[in-house]
Chain A
């Protein structure tokens, strides 16, 4: 479904290294831009009323990559993530300036509707939030409202495929008519991921998807993220640096609303270039 010719991470980093100097945005260390971006953000500022929460952030999200966002609490990771599917629109006092493009199209353009945008940029939240409906209806809701299914059979197959991709099918196939809220926390979160992928988005945003889960459930989700990368572009906010290291190819470090450093995950965790990043990584801060 997505183009499979995506540059391998290795290749990309070599290409990136050659042009490192002119690829760096002001105020941010590391390569902000990638060759094959799905989403591009330029000079994004976010205000909550008078208070500015994001300062001039420019960042690319590469195709079929996992990019993780880390940083101390309150630094604006969630705020930035929620800009990518305009979830911030639901907050009255929130104002976003700058430019965010998806596949070349400005998502904050007045003419663009948020409904198709959110269908192509799915979101998974910190706390699992299945609808208080059956497992089946949870998954089927998205395809139904977007009219993606031709008939019941088609819908059944979408539900099954989504649950399989989310690694939940074997566990729930006998009780699809039972409430989604009756599942365990980890299962609920995978249900939410299945619900997000049921509408075949291009990008999935995840805001601390594992913070309410135990280590085993977390491991399952991480495995799942790795598999999903084949077909989706993923941006994940996490507080666990191990998790960022395990699942992501690129890592962005935020501090007090500014994007301090971006780079290959390996590089960020082994040889951070900015002092603040280093302090955070080594546990001296946050």
Chain B
């Protein structure tokens, strides 16, 4: 699970002038040919830095993303839902494991990344800083937040860094279960009792604004990312991703007879683009910067989990198992 916003801050390209121009040209040519970059290849510092940041944020989003749905893991109604939700949240933890490993190949240790997360030094998707009040919120995430994540992940799987692409390939294969499961849950709420329908409508009302934020600020106000696009680090603009999501899922939400809480939402038949009320980007910034409804709890839970697990890790630490950078 993962959203835009990762490239929200502008990047400085000054360091590029210090790179070896011959190596840089060969590197860019390789990407242009559609060949993947592997860990032992030469790469510009900026590429390494941006990739670590992006993959790390993606990994954090998975491990933190396990929490809002995990809120309902002990309360899922009936065997089918109980087992599915357990497996689904487990997958998200697994995604974090895969993504941290991919980032590790670039030279940052997993523990350092986790420390940076807990200390508030690195970010994760803003969407997970919202609470899941009812079972229906949990269903919203399983279906639609995962759907949004899949839009991003499928695009990123075509990126230039080999280990990240391999991790994403596996992740995308697992996500198809999440998406189907989530839709299944929502279909059952939609076709169920009045109470069940109402539960989902309320969840939709709560989650629509964070869902629109999910893909990151609109292109008009986002930082320039041309070089990241050329290097196939960023694979599409925030608005393109958002539009793709709306295209695929708004009709499915309407089909179930729910109302999306945005009176201006409609597809412009001429441009093929969706029109909507501009999301509140000030709110987005507030949440990304740590002041959303659940930021504190999410980080505190991770901190406590780390602290509780420390005796296990310390007990088994040995020079024999010293850390090295993984291979691929």
Q: Do A and B bind each other?
A: no
